[in-house]
Amino acid sequence: MSAPAAATVTPIRLPDAEATRRAGATLAGLVHGGDAIALVGDLGAGKTTFVAGLVAALGGGSAASPTFSLVNEYPGGRWIVWHVDLYRIERAAELVELGLDDVIGDRRGICVVEWADKFAVLPPDHLRLELAHAPDGDTRILVATGAEARGTELASALTAELLQPSR
Ligand SMILES: Nc1ncnc2c1ncn2[C@@H]1O[C@H](COP(=O)(O)OP(=O)(O)OP(=O)(O)O)[C@@H](O)[C@H]1O
Ligand SMILES: [Mg+2]
């Protein structure tokens, strides 16, 4: 019996900040209400830049880092975007105060969480986006993965779109 085919994960090079924004804009065409997205990566990896591209493409205006307000809500677009940053969260109890439970899975919008690997706040079918500084210069590498039907679907659709030669 042959082993099940492993999903191939293709890293995507983002040569500059504009490419990171465009990757976020590309995801805007794939998401729908109730989706959850984890953004993982070092300080300055490009997480907020990606979200800014996503929010702008959905018509929600210009997104900034929610490091101080912790949850930014961008209504007025195709979907509401709840943009969360867990960087300053130290204890799981603080997550309750954030009101995360109210927005995760709310079908009126999508929930995007920076530093999502600090606490397991997202449902298992979320899209996981890992951004990293490329070892060979001031560019970034994006890896999209996901579990369960929705996470897998979003990861492969985003990867396929970003790999198109016309981009
Ligand atoms: N692909 C890229 N190549 C080069 N620079 C980039 C790229 N993407 C984003 N940047 C730049 O990296 C810097 C940090 O970006 P950003 O604030 O989005 O990172 P972050 O991951 O949200 O950081 P933090 O961990 O502080 O929240 C910005 O100056 C941004 O313009
Ligand atoms: Mg940020």
Please name the residue whose Cα sits nearest to atom 14 of ligand 1. 44
- Per the domain annotation, does 153 fall within a domain? yes
Contacts of 91 (CB under 8 A, 6+ apart): none
Which whole-number Å values give the CA distances from 94 to 23, 91, 100, 101, 118, in the listed order? 31, 6, 10, 12, 12
Q: Yes or no: say if 51 and 65 are a contact pair by the CB < 8 Å rule.
A: no
Residue 6, in any domain of the structure: no
What global pTM score does this model have?
0.93
Q: Which ligand is nearest to the CA of 72?
A: 2
Whether 68 has a pLDDT exceeding 80, the answer reads: no
Torsion of CA 16, 8, 155, 49, to 10 degrees: -20
Determine the Cα–Cα distance for residues 8 and 44; give it in Å rounded to an integer.
Answer: 27
pLDDT score at 7? 58
Nearest alpha carbon, ligand 1 atom 15: 46
- 62 lies in some domain: yes
Structural domain boundaries, residue 44: 12-162
Beta bridge partners of 12: 142
pLDDT confidence of residue 60 = 82
119 Cα–ligand 1 center, Å: 22
The pLDDT of residue 47 is 97
Question: Angle of helix 17-28 relative to helix 148-162, nearest 10 degrees?
Answer: 130
Query: How does pLDDT run across 9-58, given as a tens digit for each residue?
Result: 899 999 999 999 999 999 999 999 999 999 999 999 999 999 999 999 99
pLDDT tens readout for residues 146-166: 999 999 999 999 999 999 876
Question: Does the pLDDT of residue 71 top 90, yes or no?
Answer: no
Q: How many domains does the chain have?
A: 1
- The residues lining ligand 1, judged by C-beta closer than 6 Å to any ligand atom, are 14, 16-17, 19-20, 41, 43-49, 65, 114, 138-140
